[in-house]
Amino acid sequence: MGNNGWFETVAEAQRRAQKRLPRSVYKALLAGSERGQTYRDNIDAFAELGFAPHVAGGPAERALGTQVMGVDLDLPVIISPTGVQAVHPEGEVAVARAAAARGTAIGLSSFGSRTLEDVVAANDRTFFQIYWSGGRDVIEQRLQRAREAGAKGVIATLDWTFSFGRDWGSPAIPEALTPKAMLSFAPEVALKPRWLLDFARTGQLPDLTTPNMAAKGEPGPTFFGAYGEWMTTPPPSWEDIAWMREAWGGPFMIKGICRVDDARRAVDAGASAISVSTHGGNNLDGIPGAIRMLPGIAEAVGDEIEVVLDSGIRRGGDVVKALALGAQAVMIGRAYLWGLAANGQAGVENVLDILSGGISSAMLGLGKASVADLAPEDILVPEGFARVLGD
Ligand SMILES: Cc1cc2nc3c(=O)[nH]c(=O)nc-3n(C[C@H](O)[C@H](O)[C@H](O)COP(=O)(O)O)c2cc1C
């Protein structure tokens, strides 16, 4: 890999990730569901939007900073929570360090492979992501642990339907990486010696447990154990969500909002922020691309709650489009996972640099000195682009 592993676009990071990762790990990150309609529309919808540029009178400097859930960010891009087991030995700690180096926050998944305490030590701008799993007592214990660890906010991810199956195939994920399980992966791993070497250097095999689903210091359940608990927990009511917000008592984001009526309920439940999201197209296939749902939701609740968008962000221009259409910031998933797989912490920094460079360049074209000045008239929105659900 020439140039110290530097890459110029997220697409290139993805190509390198595909070369480096065992097939099963790559497929687990690619994810998506069913026929991939939502997965594709998340990305393709951004290409339907255009810019309305100026050619002179632009600002010499552009301010990219913003604030989400009371946390100052140097750029309007937050690390979205993902379970990144087996991508890289340092996992979420490497991602947290990269985010800290670029002055932004990380959302740590409940299904993450590293402890919340280690991640907060690497980046004090950490939000803890939680599911409605295990019922009120267990959730209260997890919130307590997050509070003690110093998490700055909670992200409650509500959009999950336990759908399964994708037309391009799912990887086999072992319950634990026992020697026997490793042997079954040996043929594909043998083709990816660099990935194995990274783990071999640390003296550890990829860990498929979820340490943040247990009490601090207790061994975490396996991914399947944790998933089973979640799957068998009855879904929450809006009263449960208001209870969770109250039990946390601090900045609280609801992730996965697609409808205007749900956005209003999130406001009523006392949330500080929402993320308009399709879970990156991994959840219910057939939901429109997230950016199509943003304008209607931002118009309805943008004055009452912070609106964030995730799903489909691959370049700085995408971030600018989302901000102009009403988002305070965006969150990224696969973009940083490809960077992490391609080049560890430096790869995640590389992705954040690609995005901030792209934001700055689009802002120069649009003649904007600050991300706060971006507005819908900066964007060419074709007729019929937006989807307003549940108004
Ligand atoms: C491999 C993978 C694992 C994910 N795991 C979680 C998770 O544990 N919790 C969560 O809230 N979202 C999870 N997500 C969704 C992301 O937080 C985010 O919504 C999504 O990746 C955004 O779309 P993008 O990948 O197009 O940026 C996951 C996404 C991927 C790709």
- Over residues 29-34, mean pLDDT: 94
Contacts of 297 (CB under 8 A, 6+ apart): 257, 259, 260, 263, 274, 276, 307, 326
CA atoms of 126 and 150, how far apart (whole Å): 8
- Over residues 286-290, mean pLDDT: 98
What is the residue range of 309's domain? 3-380
Partner residues linked to 93 by β-bridges: none
| Inside any domain, residue 305 | yes
| Inside any domain, residue 387 | no
Query: Would you say 76 and 322 are in contact if contact means Cβ atoms under 8 Å apart?
Result: no
Q: Is 279 a catalytic residue?
A: yes
CA atoms of 289 and 390, how far apart (whole Å): 16
- The one catalytic residue among 279, 292, 315, 387: 279
| Inside any domain, residue 103 | yes
Does the reported pTM lie above 0.95?
A: yes
Is residue 314 in contact with ligand 1, taking CB distance under 6 Å? no
pLDDT tens, 334-378? 999 999 999 999 999 999 999 999 999 999 999 999 999 999 999
Q: For 12-26, 134-148, 174-188, which range has the lowest pLDDT when averaged over its residues?
A: 174-188
Q: How much distance in Å is there from the Cα of 164 to the middle of ligand 1?
A: 15
pLDDT of res. 111: 95
CA atoms of 22 and 334, how far apart (whole Å): 16
pLDDT surpassing 50 at residue 156: yes
More confident residue, 207 or 220: 220
Q: How much distance in Å is there from the Cα of 85 to the middle of ligand 1?
A: 13
pLDDT of res. 172: 81
pLDDT tens, 259-272? 999 999 999 999 99
pLDDT tens, 104-139? 999 999 999 999 999 999 999 999 999 999 999 999
- Using pLDDT thresholds of 50, 70 and 90, give the confidence band for residue 1: very low
Number of domains making up the chain: 1
Nearest residue to 156 via CA among 85, 242, 98, 35? 242
Q: How buried is 167 (Cβ within 10 angstroms: 0-12 exposed, 13-18 middle, 19+ buried)?
A: exposed
pLDDT of res. 370: 98
What's 325's domain CATH number?
3.20.20.70
pLDDT surpassing 90 at residue 182: no
pLDDT of res. 161: 95
Output the six-digit token pair for 59. Answer: 């600002």
Nearest residue to 106 via CA among 114, 95, 94? 95
Tokens 């964007």 -> residue = 379
| Inside any domain, residue 385 | no
The residue contributing the CA closest to ligand 1 atom 10 is 81
Is residue 85 in contact with ligand 1, taking CB distance under 6 Å? no
| Inside any domain, residue 389 | no
**Measured in whole angstroms, how far is the alpha carbon of residue 27 from the centre of its chain?**
17
| Inside any domain, residue 253 | yes
| Inside any domain, residue 386 | no
| Inside any domain, residue 391 | no
